[in-house]
Structure 1
Amino acid sequence: MESLVIRGNAFTVQDKYHVQYLADCLVCIDSDGWIERVLVPEDKDYERVLIAARQHHQLRELAEGEYLLPGFIDLHVHAPQWPQAGLALDRPLADWLNVYTFPLEARFNDRVFARKVYKDFVRTLLAHGTTTAMMFGTIHVDANMVLVDECRQQGLRGYVGQVTMDNPDQTPDYYRDHSAEEALAASEQFIQRVQASPDPDDLVTPVITPRFVPSCTDEALAGLGQLAAKYDLPIQSHVSESNWESQYAIDRFGMHDAEVLDHFGLLTARAVMAHGTQLTDGDMQLLRQQQTAIAHCPISNIYFGNGVLPVHRLLKMGNKVGLGSDISGGYTPSLYHNIRQAVKSSRMLTDGVDSKRPVEQRGVANSQITAATAFYLATAGGAHALHLAAGRIAVGCRADLQVVRAHQMWGKPSTADTFERLMYQTEAADIKGVYVNGHLVYEN
């Protein structure tokens, strides 16, 4: 029996390259937060379900100009970096980390500070249409539990990681795990605390989180791979994010960081690796073979990635790819902004950027993606990466949804035009409601 029926026009993913439009549909949500039926006016039960929902006060009818979309899935977020979003992006990566990022993250040993930041950040994610986020925490178990609590209280589906960083050569004295043993014990403690605490809506999942290869000792990397296997958990980290990171792994291990992560059991079908702008053909094939997903962070990559991820090629190869905001390497939590940048970056990769070179030598042909593909990354692509039944308006999916108001369009626009306008012009002020598990968790 439905507990909520939403009536209105909807856009959802058809496949990696196409969007489906559902006109005046009824999205029927059961009491456990699953989409039970999606009816269109031609279906025989449509009028009966509509009348019953109205009589039982279970109907939400979208206003004219409003559209129902799947909630967005952000595959790569540094939650404690929210206070510095938009700061120091013109600085080299080493300065950005050591002058801004590490001192900020060290402050999360204060749970009061953590509560203030995470309360605001979780609400901000929801306000931008994000219903699921895969998040790095800090090295502080108690602060990470505050983030878990905020996800549960506010209704965000959260994948939360206890960060491991124990390599004294690459991490500061004031902010690191002081041994691999200490780091692994903290990770296991966090896992057990999350799993032991009440979560009736099944919202939060603990995640194994080596910060990245440079920040971890061999012992920590090996131990985290064993923890991931022991508890059958997702893994998140960075892979080939920049020229520096890629070269660091080669200098230390004599192999690329994708191979290093695989060696330590950290490339699995439940792993999500961010960035990948320096991946080789062999790295891409290894990620596909291990069914490890890539979190494409197009805004962040402009500042720190030293390249553009070849999204179109990866999808054609069969790799799993989703979208990430990478707060705060990315300055905005909005996946709408990242959808736009994903399209723009793909066009720049196609056309090239050095006009002094001959046209045929400038870019990488056939690298462009459309707004439809970027929408796939932000929804079904992210869900696929997380093995999550979400990211689509379809029977058997979680009712993780957003209600969006379109900007004024003149004349009689096509559905394709309306969809593109939504992708390119939607801001937080246009998001009128957000549902997770069928619960209204944000309303504007």
Structure 2
Amino acid sequence: MFYRGDFVHTEELSNIEIFRDYLLAIDSAGYISHFENASTLLSRSLLSKESEDRIVLIPPGSFLLPTFCDLHLHAPQFLYQGTGLHLPLMEWLNEYAFKAEERLDQDPNLAKRVYTRLGERLVENGTGAVSLFGTIKEETNLILAETMQQIGIRAFVGKLSMDISTRPTYIESTHSESLASVRSFIDRTRALTAHLPDHARLIEPVLTPRFVPTCSDALLQGLGELAQQTGVMVQSHLAEAKDQVKAVRETRGTSDLEVFERAQLLTSRTIQAHCTYLSSEEFSRLARHGTAIAHCPLSNAYFSARQLALREALNRGICVGLGTDIAGGYSVDVMTAMRWAVGVARISDGARLDRIEGDATEPGDKTAVNTRGLGVDWKEALYLGTRGGAVALGLGSGVFKIGVPFDAQQKGTGPLDFFDIGHESVDLSPEMIEKWWCVGDIRNRTGMWIQGRQILFR
């Protein structure tokens, strides 16, 4: 197939590229095989040899953009999305999260319904790749993996590992039982797609220690060894909230970063969510390990007394992507996460300026005397929601280049209002893209493709 029109991507953090009137071709496996201006000799030659029914024309004012990546989402918590956000984190887990996860483990039909609707909502909102936390029961997570494969989304599915719990009925009895279950889950997840060619395998298992308060040292050590043996990715939560950080200090006598580090679970194949209570020195340690961060600004507003020091993490070379953190965050839309990421970063920068101007630097607060800004802009947030997330997941997508999977979403003008320009008669501009970024919604999304296969039609 061939696609002709305007394309937009952010291959680098602060640089948005607009490719006007380009021709993109995909091969039979869904990889990009050609990407050049439509006026080049090769593009014209390819077009002359193809029938019209194999050429998709992107309308003026519309453009193709890489799909979004959601680095942190609790799939079973989609059951109660948008409710229960009034409690501190540790109380919220007991009152809402554990109950919902246990309920799905007990009811496979409900799990299928919840996961099917979740997948449909992800497609509707342009999410093409997602890192999912599941439950502790193998079979329920296999339902999740199989559902995402059927819908056509790239899904990294994590069976929870937790041998400590405040809910007696929702726990794995021993670390040995937990590790055996994880090994089985890895094998069974891979078996789900073993009959398919490599390019059609969209699901992968992920090692998922919930977080330090629910995992014994023996379990974490075993998961670290399993990560080395299998090469499977790791996901968890790190330094998320004040009560969680305090609980780890009291029970382990050190930070949760130190606990993960000792278990060899901080690697270049690890994604840690939140990281709002990390020091500058700890950011440096994460960078040395190559560990990525899933920034979840919306859920941090509810469950953490502070936000991720995003600019510092980026400046230290840490790979950062965005997460919706359903149901700690109420929106499954990565665009919401992008907008919140910009907003909270601007507030952080304003607080920095207030400290400098008021000479109110707290002891040990290095950011207050840092003259560099802490804000991020919409272009940087777009990078985090597309290419940044793809890099964290080890995917080649997030850009339009020869040899990478064609994972794209089509943006139309939809409900956007243009008063000073005729969007159907002028070149696509950064201002037009910014308007979509700020006020666009699902009505602007008119198509979506994963590995060259269209999964959304409007």
2:148 — aligned with what? 151
2:442 — aligned with what? 428
Match for 2:420: what amino acid? G
**Aligned partner of 2:411 among 383, 401, 404:** 404
2:191 — aligned with what? 196
2:160 — aligned with what? 163
Measure the CA separation in 1 of the matches of 2:190 and 2:246: 37
2:233 — aligned with what? 234
Deviation at 1:361, TM superposition (A): 4.4
**Aligned partner of 1:367 among 367, 374, 390:** 374
Q: Alpha carbon RMSD of aligned pairs, Å?
A: 1.9
Match for 1:424: what amino acid? C
Unaligned runs of 5+ in 2: 362-366
**Are residues 1:106 and 2:102 paired?**
yes
Match for 2:113: what amino acid? K
Are the aligned partners of 1:259 and 1:283 in contact in 2 as well (CA < 8 Å)? Answer: no
Give percent identity, aligned residues only.
32
2:128 — aligned with what? 131
The one-character-per-residue Cα deviations of 1:141-164 (angstroms, maximum 9, x if unpaired) are 111011111111110000000101
**Are residues 1:395 and 2:423 paired?**
no
**Aligned partner of 1:62 among 58, 63, 67:** 58
Distance 1:361 1:394, change over 3 A: farther
The one-character-per-residue Cα deviations of 1:298-324 (angstroms, maximum 9, x if unpaired) are 111111122111212211111111111
1:182 — aligned with what? 177
2:5 — aligned with what? 8
Measure the CA separation in 1 of the matches of 2:172 and 2:446: 42
Distance 1:14 1:357, change over 3 A: closer
1:38 — aligned with what? 35
Deviation at 1:56, TM superposition (A): 5.6
Instruction: Give 4+ residue runs of structure 1 displaced > 6 Å after superposition.
Output: 353-357
**Are residues 1:415 and 2:457 paired?**
no
Match for 1:232: what amino acid? G
Most deviating of 190-199 and 100-109: 190-199
Deviation at 1:42, TM superposition (A): 3.9
Match for 1:119: what amino acid? T
1:26 — aligned with what? 23
Deviation at 1:250, TM superposition (A): 2.1
Aligned length: 438
Distance 1:222 1:422, change over 3 A: same
Deviation at 1:50, TM superposition (A): 2.9
Most deviating of 90-99 and 354-363: 354-363
Deviation at 1:379, TM superposition (A): 1.1
2:364 — aligned with what? none
Measure the CA separation in 1 of the matches of 2:31 and 2:452: 7
SS in 2 for 1:133: strand
Distance 1:356 1:45, change over 3 A: closer
Are the aligned partners of 1:81 and 1:101 in contact in 2 as well (CA < 8 Å)? Answer: yes
Are the aligned partners of 2:411 and 2:447 in contact in 1 as well (CA < 8 Å)? Answer: yes
Are the aligned partners of 1:276 and 1:309 in contact in 2 as well (CA < 8 Å)? Answer: yes
SS in 2 for 1:178: coil
